[in-house]
Amino acid sequence: MFSKILIANRGEIACRVIKTARRLGIKTVAVYSDADSGARHVAMADEAVHIGPPAARESYLLGDRIIEAARRTGAQAIHPGYGFLSENAGFAEACGAAGVVFIGPPPAAIRAMGSKSEAKKIMEKAEVPLVPGYHGDDQSPDLLAKEADRIGFPVLIKASAGGGGKGMRVVESAAKFADALAGAKREAKAAFADDHVLVEKYLTRPRHIEIQVFADAASCLYLFERDCSIQRRHQKVIEEAPAPGMDPARRQAMGEAAVAAAKAIGYRGAGTVEFIADQDGTFFFMEMNTRLQVEHPVTEAITGQDLVEWQFVVAAGGRMPLAQDQLRIDGHAVEVRLYAEDPARNFLPSTGTLVHLKLPEDGPHVRVDTGVRQGDTVTPYYDPMIAKVIVHDRDRASALRRMAVLMGETEVVGVTTNAGLLKALCGHPAFVGGEIDTGFIERHRTTLFAAVAPADDLAFAIATLARVVEWREAGRDAARASDDPWSPWNEQSSFRLLDEGHDEVRWKDGERDVAVVIRRLRGDGLRLELPGGAQDAAVRRADDGRLAMRLGDETFAATVVRRVAGDGGIDYTLFADGRSRRLRLVEPLDVTQYEATASDETAVRAPLPGKIIDLKVKAGDTVTKGQPLLVLEAMKMEHTLAAPFDATIKSVRYAVGEQVSEGAELVEFEAGG
């Protein structure tokens, strides 16, 4: 076994590998960019080596620099994690040439599966079932369009060299094929330096089921399946094992097909064979990921095995600890990916500092894999995942119920997250009942998104009651510091000279300004005049720091986090009943909060930092509402920005290839539209 390894990755996967290495007594070396100098994985490792600037292409993708770090620190092996260099055959070869063990499959296996087109040819020879499609080398747009017509719409365009939803487009008709092809090729080129694509029949209600395989020098086996059908933008959101509705015969058929795929390329180590399955139970090979998957914890949960430990053993020349007939499924496991993103804005990634972070705690049923801590920053340079939360329970219903509770207790301030959506998904009757396919989120968007944020009156009441508590606490602090603690000037009352005593708090909610009037009743009682009508209320600070509230006949607890935003405004983020919402406090004496910004109505701004990769308009063009204006690449994804209304373009401020900051004016319209 190795005595020291280097992890050529960052974030939660680096931390997860370090945990197993530490348990086995293996020393670890972390690598980090300028953006990660204070990161959790750096703090956890025994040693850390700086490898470059924040951009991955200048740090985490520099294989020679990483290998040199391994040699300099005496690391005998390199674990690549997932992403970055994990499926780079050239890097695996360079490790071997430098005398460093690559903890992964042989370079030839990586290369065989690195091209989806070549992989399909290999799988066809191995008699693994394939989706009807075109996987050829001729990439002329005319030929690809003809092949799409032959296959029959809808079709899926998919980057041959990569995964993770990048370079992927669903095309419903021939009229939309050319634009979709151009976008897929452009995104594939940026992500994988290869714009080769394949075209396949798109199943309208597919399930995404993958098989975990593992191989050593003598044998290959499968550790059952995972269902990864709940997705947004072709990227996984929830994974579970075993797959709901899977019967033993189908499990064996898929497992044996996956093993045949691995054997066909002389595989070694951990890998995943991904299948797309129709509702009738038929399944087709989609791709093979020649690395450890993000969702491997659910397989570990139901089998009781540590796959990273297996990787270490096999990479060191050892044998797998179990045979196929010794593996058993225990219970059910569910994993959710907690992302810094805004579901309401088409899952737009969110950046910022995690000023408040409350994640579930590890326990008998719960595992949390994360690479961040409170105070860390989610930057635009890397994937915006905050954590993976894994629940293992006796059955699927119990696991989903437990996960819904955990997501309701998760609190993140500083970035927008998908926690509310994850809670809604895990409690959705259709999903709990077994309705599972890749289009689930879009099909149930209305009901899912309605369950994410507290209703208006509840949100405004919570925020206003938080202000009341702040006034009370400020009054007590002033009294303690005063020479005359009983002075009426210390009292935060609502006295009015020519009016009934009351206070007023104003909130900004998107484009709305909402005023809430507070009237004092006997004792500590209050009456709030909310948009939906007046309600009696009471509030106190509980021992755990949360606010214990009564609104009408309902009592509940809420967490309210007050923070000064980057623009100087004051935001209140509310967490109650598993839902969250952010409101902006309107300060009466701050006139800048009432001044409209003309550019907000006459320009399209960058929603987050990124690079302009395509311009679809120029000065003088007329556009209609919803027409694409440009494509912004940010946080490893493309974002198409569209015209908010009919208008004439006055100017385009940036050129293709230029970097832009968040809020930058990109396209300016003529005044008056």
Of 29, 36, 11, nearest to 77 by C-alpha is 29
Q: In which element (H, E) is residue 650 found?
A: strand 647-652
Query: What is the token pair recorded at 118?
Result: 């070549």
Q: Are 156 and 200 in contact (CB under 8 A)?
A: yes
Exposure string of 446-480, with b = 16+ CB inside 10 Å and e = fewer, is: eebeeebbbeebbbbbbbbbbbbeebbeeeeeeee
CA angle 163, 416, 558 (to 5 degrees): 135
Question: How many other C-beta atoms can be found within 10 angstroms of the C-beta atom of residue 165?
Answer: 18
Strands (E), 491-569: 503-509, 512-520, 526-530, 533-541, 547-551, 554-564
The span from the CA of 69 to the CA of 17, in Å, is 18
The contacts of residue 68 (CB under 8 Å, 6+ apart) are: none
CA quadruple 392, 393, 395, 400: dihedral sign: negative
Q: In which element (H, E) is residue 18 found?
A: helix 11-23
Q: What are phi and psi of 329, to 5 degrees?
A: -95, 125
Strands 547-551 and 665-669 come out as unpaired
The span from the CA of 511 to the CA of 505, in Å, is 17
Cross-strand partners of 211: 225, 273
Which residue out of 10, 16, 169, 291 is catalytically annotated? 291
Strands 647-652 and 570-576 come out as unpaired
Question: How many other C-beta atoms can be found within 10 angstroms of the C-beta atom of residue 6?
Answer: 30
Query: What is the token pair recorded at 167?
Result: 């370079």
Question: How many other C-beta atoms can be found within 10 angstroms of the C-beta atom of residue 248?
Answer: 7
The span from the CA of 391 to the CA of 400, in Å, is 8
Q: Are 296 and 213 in contact (CB under 8 A)?
A: no
291 in active site: yes
Q: Are 18 and 56 in contact (CB under 8 A)?
A: no
Please list the active-site residues.
291
